[in-house]
Amino acid sequence: MFPPGFQVTSEMLWRATLVFAVIDAAFVPILVWRIDNATFRQFKWALVTTTAIFWCSIWTWALGNFWDSVYHYVFPTWARWLIPPAYGLLFAGVSLLLWRLAMRFPGSPVTGFCLLGGLWGVITHIWAVCLGIADKPPVLRGVAPAAAVTVAVFEFMFYWGIILSVAALLHHSWRWLRRVSV
């Protein structure tokens, strides 16, 4: 997927951090405005379902496109096709935990959910750095671990915002279908 000789740099990751931060600065307030606390409380299972599908899809795409250039350096070959469903299930469980913690968050649980999702991104990227993601793949070799971890905050806030958006649509669709079918 990368052109020959392509190299990800720390500067690229810092720029991506800025782009994601700007997007999140607009996206999260829109989500807070559109998803009230009562609705957020009601769509726990839509959130879990959306999360499982989203992360399984992301990992299927990422491993399908970047296995040779990135991921085979940090994951065993036998895990290539197990990672997407396993991470889909793992992240679904994480979404349930984030939902519960966000319900206790002062202010908007949507804001709490997105911020906690960013924290989860930090945790996953620290783990990836420990596995050698910044050292082993030639395309990432030399990337500053701080850049790889920092971009995760805003990248994951964006991803969890997408998940919230889709879950809200699913929740409203299910409610509408129940009313129509009665």
Mean pLDDT of the chain: 95
Q: Predicted confidence band at 178 (pLDDT cuts at 50, 70, 90)? A: confident
pLDDT tens per residue, range 51-68:
999 999 999 999 999 999
pLDDT at 161: 98
Mean pLDDT of 93-115: 96
User: Is residue 145 packed enough to be buried (19+ CB in 10 Å), middle (13-18) or exposed (0-12)?
Assistant: middle
**Per-residue pLDDT tens over the stretch 150-172:** 999 999 999 999 999 999 998 88
Contacts of 45 (CB under 8 A, 6+ apart): none
Give just the sign of the alpha carbon dihedral 171, 90, 20, 114: positive
For 86-96, how does the pLDDT look when each residue is reduced to its tens digit (9 = 90+)?
999 999 999 99
Q: Look up residue 3 and give its DSSP letter.
A: P
Whether 132 shows a pLDDT value over 90: the answer reads yes
pLDDT tens, position by position, 19-28: 999 999 999 9
Look at residue 3 in the predicted model and tell me its pLDDT. 83
Q: Where are the domains of the chain?
A: 39-175
Which 3 state secondary structure label does DSSP give 61? helix
Quick one: average pLDDT of 109-129? Answer: 97
